[in-house]
Amino acid sequence: MAEYSTKQRKALIRFLSTHPDELFTVEQIAEGLAEEDEKRTGEGEKAESGEGSAAGISRSSVYRNLPALEAAGLVKRVSIPGRREVFYRFKGSPSCRGCIHLSCRSCGRIFHLGSETSAKLAEYISENGGFTLDRTDTVISGICAKCKSRNGNLNRQT
């Protein structure tokens, strides 16, 4: 039992860590995992395991496993203003360490500021606001450059 859930957790981490700067709903994670499974078992070995697919992760087991990953500090729950779904983001990626993340309200994509810029911003806030930012936990919401230029003409008249 414990071993089985470890296997699922590993599959979850493997999936999320290959998409470090993306937001996923539980549904999207389950779908992504199923897709990966299909790729791996595509060579006609499907009948091999009775559990269904290799990782055999259903939506409900994604739900069950996420809190543990969250508690371990590997996954961060993100809510986006104006969106009802809850998103999850992998935060164990080395390239994301010490970076402040930016979330686009329009397209939902996540970007990260370089660690140097992030450090400077944190320093500025600390010096001027007397507030110490938790960089790994910070997701700033706004509009990305792409969406801004796409909507630029529409918004100009305001």
Residues lying near Zn ion in the complex (CB under 5 A) are found at 21, 96, 104, 106-107, 112, 144, 147
Taking each helix axis from N to C end, the angle separating 2-17 and 59-71, rounded to the nearest 10 degrees, works out to 80
Shortest approach of Zn ion to residue 20 CB, angstroms?
5
Shortest approach of Zn ion to residue 156 CB, angstroms?
18
How far is Cα 112 from Cα 108, in angstroms, rounded to an integer?
A: 13
Q: Which is nearer to Zn ion, 22 or 31 (CB)?
A: 22
Q: Which is nearer to Zn ion, 16 or 96 (CB)?
A: 96
How far is Cα 91 from Cα 74, in angstroms, rounded to an integer?
A: 5
Shortest approach of Zn ion to residue 103 CB, angstroms?
9
Q: Which is nearer to Zn ion, 20 or 56 (CB)?
A: 20
